[in-house]
Amino acid sequence: MIDHGVIQQDGSPEELYNNPGNKFVAGFMGSPSMNFLNLRLDNDTLVSRDGQIKLSIPKGTSKFLKEAGYDGKDLIFGIRPEDIHTEPIAKETYPGDTVHVKLDLVEPLGAETMYYFQLDGQQFVARVGAREKDQTGDYADLTFQIPNAHFFDPETELVILPKGAKVYQSPTRQESDLANTKGTPLEGQKFSEKY
């Protein structure tokens, strides 16, 4: 995947979707795109700036985020629309990961329904079952499937992974120019300086 002439990540669509190397790739892959929210890690809880949103995270996730230096710091939380649920079993499975929200728009699409809502001033979308009966303006309890969440550094926007896991590093635009022209008559020319 390329953004403004710079390679962001290489891999199959499934790899890019399931294991994005940065926020750009995560937001590009999938429709609707991934939801993002700036949260602070407070022990085993992700907390919004206003304190209204508190999400429990698994001990293993909390551990690697702390080891990476994020305890008490901001990070970008990312979750896909299909990982936000209305079913009671989700609420039982992920206690502490449910938010009560007003639905700004309910969009029935036949086989599925989209719920649009706000969290901490950010637009979110959830992909739920077609049989849900909520209407625009209703309030709903939505549960995040936290084990499927992604975490990104707020400055670099690179994915945060456990120690030892491979992190994809985007090349600079100049490195990308050199790699993309290698073995061609254009080898060595730097095009990014022209744009």
On whether the CB atoms of residues 49 and 121 are closer than 8 A, the answer is no
CA angle at residue 126 from 73 to 154, to 5 degrees?
A: 20
The domains of the chain are located at 2-90+144-194
CA angle at residue 89 from 88 to 93, to 5 degrees?
A: 120
**Tens digit of each residue's pLDDT (9 = 90 or more) over 112-126:** 999 999 998 899 999
On whether the CB atoms of residues 19 and 29 are closer than 8 A, the answer is no
Provide the whole-model pTM.
Answer: 0.80
Rg (CA), the chain: 19
* In CATH, 2-90+144-194 is 2.40.50.140: no
**Tens digit of each residue's pLDDT (9 = 90 or more) over 131-175:** 898 999 999 999 999 999 999 999 999 999 887 776 555 555 455
